[in-house]
Amino acid sequence: MSTPTESPTANADGTTSSRSTAASPDVDVSGREESTEFDQATRELLVDGLRRTLDGRWRATRDSVRERANRSDLLPDPSRTLDEARARVLEEMRELSSQGFAAAGFASDHGGTGDVGASITAIEMLGYADLSLMVKAGVQWGLFGGAVENLGTQRHHDRYVSDIISLDLLGCFAMTETGHGSNVQALETTATYDPQTQEFVIDSPTPSARKDYIGGAAQHARVAAVFAQLITAGPGQEPESHGVHCFVVPIRDDNGDDLPGVTTSDCGYKGGLAGVDNGRILFDHVRIPAENLLNRYADVDADGTYRSHIENPNRRFFTMLGTLIRGRVSVAATAGAAGRKALALATKYGTVRKQFEAPGADDEITVLDYLGHQRKLLPLIAKSYAMTCTQNELVAELHEVQSAAPDDSDAGRQRQLESSAAGLKAYATWHASHAINVSREACGGAGYLDENQLSIMRGDIDVFTTFEGDNTVLTQLVAKELLSAYADDVQGLSAGGWVRFIAGMARDVVVEKTAARQVIQTLLESSDEDTEKSTLTDRGTQIRLFRNREDHLVRTCAQRLRRATDDDNDAFEVFNNAQDHLLKVGRVHTERVVLESFIEAINDCDSKAAAELLGKVCDLFVYSALEDDLAWFLMHRHVSVERAKAIRRGVNELCRELRPYADVLVDAFGIPENLMVAPMIENG
Amino acid sequence: MSTPTESPTANADGTTSSRSTAASPDVDVSGREESTEFDQATRELLVDGLRRTLDGRWRATRDSVRERANRSDLLPDPSRTLDEARARVLEEMRELSSQGFAAAGFASDHGGTGDVGASITAIEMLGYADLSLMVKAGVQWGLFGGAVENLGTQRHHDRYVSDIISLDLLGCFAMTETGHGSNVQALETTATYDPQTQEFVIDSPTPSARKDYIGGAAQHARVAAVFAQLITAGPGQEPESHGVHCFVVPIRDDNGDDLPGVTTSDCGYKGGLAGVDNGRILFDHVRIPAENLLNRYADVDADGTYRSHIENPNRRFFTMLGTLIRGRVSVAATAGAAGRKALALATKYGTVRKQFEAPGADDEITVLDYLGHQRKLLPLIAKSYAMTCTQNELVAELHEVQSAAPDDSDAGRQRQLESSAAGLKAYATWHASHAINVSREACGGAGYLDENQLSIMRGDIDVFTTFEGDNTVLTQLVAKELLSAYADDVQGLSAGGWVRFIAGMARDVVVEKTAARQVIQTLLESSDEDTEKSTLTDRGTQIRLFRNREDHLVRTCAQRLRRATDDDNDAFEVFNNAQDHLLKVGRVHTERVVLESFIEAINDCDSKAAAELLGKVCDLFVYSALEDDLAWFLMHRHVSVERAKAIRRGVNELCRELRPYADVLVDAFGIPENLMVAPMIENG
Per-residue pLDDT band at A7 (split at 50, 70, 90): very low
Segments of chain A assigned to CATH 1.10.540.10:
72-166
Task: Kindly state whether B511 is in contact with chain A, defined as any CB-CB distance less than 8 angstroms.
Answer: no
Interface of A with B in 164-183 (CB under 8 A): 176, 178-183
Closest by alpha carbon to B69, among B169, B156, B137, B144? B137
d(CA B215, CA A538) in angstroms, rounded, equals 53
d(CA A684, CA A675) in angstroms, rounded, equals 18
Segments of chain A assigned to CATH 2.40.110.10:
171-311
> In this predicted model, what pLDDT tens digit does every residue of A66-76 receive, in sequence order?
999 999 999 99
At B6 the pLDDT is 52
Residues of chain B with pLDDT > 70, as a percent, come to 92
Residues near B515 by beta carbon (within 8 Å), at least 6 away in sequence: none
Does residue A434 surpass a pLDDT of 90? Answer: yes
Per-residue pLDDT band at A15 (split at 50, 70, 90): very low
With beta carbons less than 8 A apart as the criterion, state whether A670 and A54 touch: yes
Closest-CA residue of chain B to A357? B494
CA angle, residues B636, B642, B646, in degrees to nearest 5 = 105
Beta-carbon count within 10 A of B423 CB: 27
Does residue A9 surpass a pLDDT of 70? Answer: no
Per-residue pLDDT band at B456 (split at 50, 70, 90): very high
State whether A445 and B465 contact (CB < 8 Å): no
CATH architecture of residue range(s) A40-55+327-511+534-679: Up-down Bundle (1.20)
Amino acid, res. A530 = D
d(CA B579, CA A350) in angstroms, rounded, equals 17
At B7 the pLDDT is 47
SS3 label, residue A170 = coil
Residues near A118 by beta carbon (within 8 Å), at least 6 away in sequence: A58, A61, A104
> In this predicted model, what pLDDT tens digit does every residue of A367-410 receive, in sequence order?
999 999 999 999 999 999 999 999 999 999 999 999 887 665 68
Interface of B with A in 436-495 (CB under 8 A): 437, 440-441, 444-445, 447-451, 454-456, 458-459, 462-463, 465-467, 470-472, 476, 494-495
With beta carbons less than 8 A apart as the criterion, state whether A592 and A387 touch: no
Mean pLDDT of chain B: 92
Q: Mean of the pLDDT values across residues B433-462?
A: 98
The DSSP-derived string for A212-253 is: EEEETTTTT-SEEEEEEEEEE--TTS--EEEEEEEEEEE-B-
d(CA A418, CA A481) in angstroms, rounded, equals 10
Q: Mean of the pLDDT values across residues A554-560?
A: 94
d(CA A537, CA A8) in angstroms, rounded, equals 9
Output A302-305 pairs: Cβ under 8 A, ≥24 positions apart: A302/A195, A302/A198, A303/A195, A303/A234, A303/A235, A304/A193, A304/A195, A304/A232, A304/A233, A304/A234, A304/A235, A304/A237, A305/A232, A305/A234, A305/A235
> In this predicted model, what pLDDT tens digit does every residue of B4-22 receive, in sequence order?
445 433 333 333 333 333 3
Q: Which CATH superfamily is domain A72-166 in?
A: Acyl-CoA dehydrogenase/oxidase, N-terminal domain (1.10.540.10)
Task: Kindly state whether B206 is in contact with chain A, defined as any CB-CB distance less than 8 angstroms.
Answer: no
Q: Mean of the pLDDT values across residues A231-248?
A: 97
d(CA B540, CA B528) in angstroms, rounded, equals 8
What Å distances lie between residue A56 and A2, A389, A669, B642, CA to CA? 26, 7, 12, 46
Q: Is B255 exposed, middle or buried, given 0-12, 13-18 or 19+ CB atoms closer than 10 A?
A: exposed
Per-residue pLDDT band at A504 (split at 50, 70, 90): confident
Tell which wins on pLDDT, A165 or A18: A165
Residues near B206 by beta carbon (within 8 Å), at least 6 away in sequence: B179, B188
Residue B178 carries which DSSP code? S
Q: Establish how many alpha carbons lie within 13 A of residue B204's alpha carbon, considering only the half-sphere containing its beta carbon.
A: 24
d(CA B316, CA B296) in angstroms, rounded, equals 11
> How much is the ipTM here?
0.94
Per-residue pLDDT band at A599 (split at 50, 70, 90): very high
At B360 the pLDDT is 73
d(CA A340, CA A508) in angstroms, rounded, equals 40
Closest-CA residue of chain B to A465? B441
Interface of B with A in 322-361 (CB under 8 A): 355-360
Output B9-18 pairs: Cβ under 8 A, ≥24 positions apart: B9/B653, B9/B657, B10/B649, B10/B653, B14/B645, B14/B649, B15/A560, B15/A563, B15/A577, B15/B649, B16/A577, B16/B649, B16/B652, B16/B653, B16/B656, B17/A573, B17/A577, B18/A573, B18/A577, B18/B656
Q: Mean of the pLDDT values across residues A479-485?
A: 92
> In this predicted model, what pLDDT tens digit does every residue of B347-405 receive, in sequence order?
999 999 999 988 777 789 999 999 999 999 999 999 999 999 999 999 999 999 998 87
At A593 the pLDDT is 97
Top-level CATH class of B171-321?
mainly beta
Beta-carbon count within 10 A of A339 CB: 32
d(CA A528, CA A509) in angstroms, rounded, equals 25
d(CA A35, CA A657) in angstroms, rounded, equals 10
At A516 the pLDDT is 66
Find the Cα–Cα–Cα–Cα dihedral B492, B498, B501, B502, rounded to 10°.
Answer: 130
What Å distances lie between residue A646 and A9, A540, B583, CA to CA? 12, 18, 19
Q: Mean of the pLDDT values across residues A243-253?
A: 98
Of A82, A448, A644, the CB nearest to B462: A448
At A406 the pLDDT is 63
At A485 the pLDDT is 86
Per-residue pLDDT band at B408 (split at 50, 70, 90): low
Does residue B563 surpass a pLDDT of 50? Answer: yes
Amino acid, res. B12 = A
Mean pLDDT of chain A: 92
Residues near B626 by beta carbon (within 8 Å), at least 6 away in sequence: B545, B633, B639, B647
Q: Establish how many alpha carbons lie within 13 A of residue B144's alpha carbon, considering only the half-sphere containing its beta carbon.
A: 32
Annotate A41-86 with three-state secondary structure.
HHHHHHHHHHHHHHHCCCHHHHHHHHHHCCCHHHCCCCCCCHHHHH
Task: Kindly state whether A132 is in contact with chain B, defined as any CB-CB distance less than 8 angstroms.
Answer: no
Provide the pairing of β-strand B306-307 with B299-300: antiparallel
Closest-CA residue of chain A to B14? A560
Q: Which residues of B touch A375 (CB under 8 A)?
A: 580
At B407 the pLDDT is 62
At B257 the pLDDT is 98
Per-residue pLDDT band at A24 (split at 50, 70, 90): very low
At A564 the pLDDT is 83
Closest by alpha carbon to A148, among A262, A224, A201? A224
CA A663, distance to chain mean position in Å, is 25
d(CA B359, CA B368) in angstroms, rounded, equals 15
Count of CB pairs separated by less than 8 Å, A with B: 255
At A293 the pLDDT is 98
d(CA A460, CA A477) in angstroms, rounded, equals 25
At B511 the pLDDT is 57
With beta carbons less than 8 A apart as the criterion, state whether B462 and A461 touch: no
Of A268, A433, A465, the CB nearest to B451: A268
Does residue A20 surpass a pLDDT of 90? Answer: no
With beta carbons less than 8 A apart as the criterion, state whether B85 and B274 touch: yes
Per-residue pLDDT band at B208 (split at 50, 70, 90): very high
Residue A13 carries which DSSP code? T
Does residue B330 surpass a pLDDT of 90? Answer: yes
Segments of chain B assigned to CATH 2.40.110.10:
171-321
Q: Which CATH superfamily is domain B40-55+327-511+528-679 in?
A: Butyryl-CoA Dehydrogenase, subunit A, domain 3 (1.20.140.10)
Per-residue pLDDT band at B23 (split at 50, 70, 90): very low
At B492 the pLDDT is 83
Per-residue pLDDT band at B409 (split at 50, 70, 90): low
Residues near B33 by beta carbon (within 8 Å), at least 6 away in sequence: none
With beta carbons less than 8 A apart as the criterion, state whether A354 and A365 touch: yes
At A297 the pLDDT is 97
Closest-CA residue of chain B to A500? B359
Residue A139 carries which DSSP code? I
What Å distances lie between residue A505 and A98, A397, A509, A574, CA to CA? 54, 30, 9, 16
With beta carbons less than 8 A apart as the criterion, state whether B458 and B436 touch: yes
At B405 the pLDDT is 72
With beta carbons less than 8 A apart as the criterion, state whether B555 and B510 touch: no
d(CA B648, CA B630) in angstroms, rounded, equals 9
Does residue A13 surpass a pLDDT of 60? Answer: no
Q: Which residues of A touch B268 (CB under 8 A)?
A: 78-79, 449-451
Chain B nearest C-alpha distance from A635 (Å): 5
Domain A171-311 sits in CATH at 2.40.110.10
Does residue A35 surpass a pLDDT of 70? Answer: no
Annotate B346-368 with three-state secondary structure.
HHHHHHHCEEEECCCCCCEEEHH
With beta carbons less than 8 A apart as the criterion, state whether B190 and B238 touch: no
Bridge-partner residues for B232, per DSSP?
B240
